[in-house]
Structures are given as C-alpha cells and as structure tokens.
Amino acid sequence: MCDLFALSASKNYTAAASLPLFAVRGRANVHGWGIGFFRNNLPVVEKSGEKVFTDGRLHSSFQRLARVVDSPTIVAHIRYKSSGLVDECHAHPFTLDFWGQSWIFAHNGKAPAIEPYLSRRHPVLEAKSDSARALEFLRDFFMETEPRRASTPFILVLKEALRSLLREYPGEYNFLLTNGRVLWAFTNHRQFLLLKGSKKLEEAMLLTTIDEGLSAEDWKKIVAKPGSAGKLLLIAGGDLLHLQDLDAAPLP
C-alpha cells in the first residue's frame, strides 16, 4: 500500500526532519517516490521509479530534496504499485490545471474500475494507472462545472465530484490535492494522522497515512465514520480548517 505525506504552514518550511522519517517508516513501498511543492504558484515535482530505501539507506536524492525543498505546502508519496508500471512516469505526485490554477495530486488505494476512464480533455497524463485516471476524472468534473465557479463553494463541487467518482468508478481512494495554498485530503479506506506543533519534527501541520505517525507524539487519527462515503479534510496555513464526512452517494 502506498503512503502519503503533507506539510502545511503559513510560511516556508523544509521538512528535513519529517520527510526522512516518512520514507523510513514507509520503506515497504518499493516502487518509487515523489515530492511536490509550489514555487511562484507553479507546481514543482521531483520523482523517481527507484526504491526510496535500499540496503539500509535512504535514496540520496530524496534525502537531499528533504533538506532543500522550502515551501508552505509540501506533498510526498511513496509508491507500492497496485496499477501501472514501475517507472518515474508512474510515480506520484501528478499535476494538472483546472479551476484556474495548477494542482498537485498524490493518491493511494486501489480502484481498477477507473483504469479504462477516457478523459475528454487535454492534456491526459502519460501514466497508465488508476491514480492518473482519478485525477483526470476530477479535472474533467471541475472543468465542466467552471461556469458555476463564481457562486459555488469549492467544497460543493469537490463533494459532487467525489460522489460521482465513487458511484461510477467504485474503489479505494485516499488522496491529497493541493494548489499550494490549501490542501484537500480525502479517504474512504484508510486513516490520516495529523500533528501540529511537534516538539521533535517541524512545528507546521503534518499529515501522513503511516499508522503510527512519524514520531512518538499525540498524532490525531482521522477516519471516516461508519456508513459514510469517506472523510474530507481542508487544511490551510497550518490549520485544519474543516473536516466532514461525505454522505453516501445518492442513487442516480
């Protein structure tokens, strides 16, 4: 199972302490890694199809990037493939533009139903995986609702998109989606662990899917309520702004 990491703060941060721990604790994921962040509102992604941890050592590029990447929002992914090849193109995060801005997306889960999805929009992602198709599905949904943008809260469109995704392409979805200012997190099959004000790692808001968190501190575990279609989190500036359960998808 892949694992996800995010850092959110109101100012630039490096994740020099927490990213290496994330890689060490997620080392069972052996099919690649990636780090994404924003510079001047543009997404920057560094990724690899190589193992993040080999022979007791962290991948040297991952380690160096962890020390150097400096941003209010950092997303990382360590891959254990459930779909697609093992190469750099299939590593996460992915990026696409919609709703007037660029987005970084990282996913874990298994959703074979969406693999045949054919986007009607361009560009399409090169990767042939459920994760790439899931991001295209979200992009397409948002582009179709663009005329409502001025008067419709983002969360309403995102919830509609998620209900539609889960109804048409059922599967396990657990993803991070960020435009560099706000971070949306959704899960319908795993947990997120949150920590803010760490004494051992960065003080910023940290998020991971790693079961035990990244330190021996009081990580908040967030899971979807039984019977709901999933849990949606909104994080910005180092704060958990909002969280809510997604209602089960109504019948079409």
Contact pick of 20, 34, 109, 238 for other proteins (by CB under 8 A)? 238
CB of 96 to other proteins, least distance (A): 14
Q: Does 207 bind other proteins (CB under 8 A)?
A: no
Contact map string, positions 40 to 69, toward other proteins, x by CB under 8 A: xx----------------------------
The correct pick among 64, 128, 149, 225 for binding other proteins (CB under 8 A) is 149
Tell the burial category of 41 from Cβ atoms under 10 Å away from its Cβ (0-12, 13-18, 19+).
exposed
Q: Decide: is 150 part of the binding site for other proteins (CB under 8 A).
A: yes
Q: Quick one: which of 39, 121, 225, 242 contacts other proteins (CB under 8 A)? A: 242
For the CB of residue 175, give the shortest distance to other proteins in the complex, in Å: 17
CA distances from 22 to 2, 112, 156 (A): 12, 27, 32
Amino acid present at 189: H
| Among positions 45, 70, 88, 99, the unique one binding other proteins when judged by CB under 8 A | 99
CA distances from 113 to 118, 133, 162 (A): 12, 10, 14
Who contacts 32 (Cβ-Cβ below 8 Å, separation ≥6)?
Answer: 47, 48, 49, 50, 51, 52, 78, 79, 81, 86, 87, 88, 90, 91, 92
Tell me how far apart the alpha carbons of residues 56 and 64 are, in angstroms, rounded to a whole number.
16
The answer to whether 240 contacts other proteins (rule: CB under 8 A) is yes
SS3 167: helix
Helices (H), 151-243: 154-168
Q: Are the C-beta atoms of 6 and 236 separated by less than 8 Å? A: no
Interface pick for other proteins out of 160, 243, 245, 249 (rule CB under 8 A)? 243
Per rule CB under 8 A, is residue 216 in the interface with other proteins? no
- Binding span for other proteins by CB under 8 A among 21-29, 82-90, 118-126, 239-247: 239-247
Binding residue (CB under 8 A) for other proteins from 17, 154, 223, 245: 154
State the number of binding residues for other proteins (CB under 8 A): 30
Residue 129 in contact with other proteins, rule: CB under 8 A: no
- 101 binds other proteins, rule: CB under 8 A: yes
- Between CA 207 and CA 193 the distance in angstroms is 6
Indicate the DSSP class of residue 196: -
Applying CB under 8 A, which residues contact other proteins? 10-11, 40-41, 72, 99-101, 149-156, 179, 181-182, 197, 220, 234, 236-243
